[in-house]
Structure 1
Amino acid sequence: MASKRSYGDGCGIARALDLVGERWGLLVVRELVLGPKRFTGLHAGLPGVSPNVLAQRLRELEAAGVLRRRTLGPPAGARVYELTEWGRELEPLLIGLGRWGGRSPEPTADPYRSADSLMLWLCSRFVPAPGGMPGAAAGEGLVAVFGVRSGDDRFAVRVGGGRLTVERGVPERPDATLAGDLGTLTDVLKGRRPIAEAAQSGELAVGGDVTALRRLVDLLITSRPATAQAAVLA
Structure 2
Amino acid sequence: MAARDYGQYCGVTRALELVGERWAMLIVRDLLVGPRRYGELAAGLPRIPSNILAARLKELQEAGVIRRAPRSRVIVYELTAYGRELEPVVLALGAWGFKAMSDPREDQVITPDSMTMTLRTAFRPQVAATLPATAYAARLSATELLIHVDGPTLAVTRDHVPVDLAFAAGPGIRRLISGELSADRAIATGAIEVLSGREDLLDRFATTFHLAA
**Is the TM value for this pair above 0.5?**
yes
**Separation in structure 2 between the aligned mates of residue 40 and residue 152 of structure 1, nearest angstrom:** 18
Kindly state the Cα deviation for residue 113 of structure 1 after the two structures are TM-superposed: 3.9
Kindly state the Cα deviation for residue 142 of structure 1 after the two structures are TM-superposed: 3.6
Q: Does 1:107 align with 2:107?
A: no
3-state SS in 2 of match to 1:195: strand
- Asked whether the equivalents of residues 144 and 212 of structure 1 are also in contact (C-alpha less than 8 Å), the reply is no
Hey, what does 1:26 align to over in structure 2?
25
Q: How does 1:74-153 map to 2 (within 5 A)?
A: 77-104=73-100, 107=102, 109-110=104-105, 111-128=108-125, 134-135=126-127, 138=128, 140-146=130-136
**Separation in structure 1 between the aligned mates of residue 153 and residue 2 of structure 2, nearest angstrom:** 43
**Separation in structure 2 between the aligned mates of residue 95 and residue 114 of structure 1, nearest angstrom:** 16
Kindly state the Cα deviation for residue 52 of structure 1 after the two structures are TM-superposed: 0.7
**Separation in structure 2 between the aligned mates of residue 90 and residue 3 of structure 1, nearest angstrom:** 18
Q: Does 1:214 align with 2:202?
A: yes
Hey, what does 1:232 align to over in structure 2?
none
Letter in 1 for 2:86: L
**Separation in structure 1 between the aligned mates of residue 200 and residue 162 of structure 2, nearest angstrom:** 11
Q: How does 1:1-234 map to 2 (within 5 A)?
A: 4-73=3-72, 77-104=73-100, 107=102, 109-110=104-105, 111-128=108-125, 134-135=126-127, 138=128, 140-146=130-136, 157-166=147-156, 168=157, 170=159, 175-176=163-164, 185-187=169-171, 189-190=173-174, 191=176, 193-196=191-194, 199=195, 209-210=197-198, 214-219=202-207, 223-225=210-212, 227=213
Kindly state the Cα deviation for residue 185 of structure 1 after the two structures are TM-superposed: 4.7
Task: Calculate the TM-score normalised by the size of structure 2.
Answer: 0.74
Matched positions, count: 197
**Separation in structure 2 between the aligned mates of residue 186 and residue 216 of structure 1, nearest angstrom:** 19
Encode CA deviations 1:80-138: one digit per residue, 9 max, x unaligned: 1111111111112111110011112x63533344211111111222235xxxxx33xx4
- Asked whether the equivalents of residues 189 and 217 of structure 1 are also in contact (C-alpha less than 8 Å), the reply is no
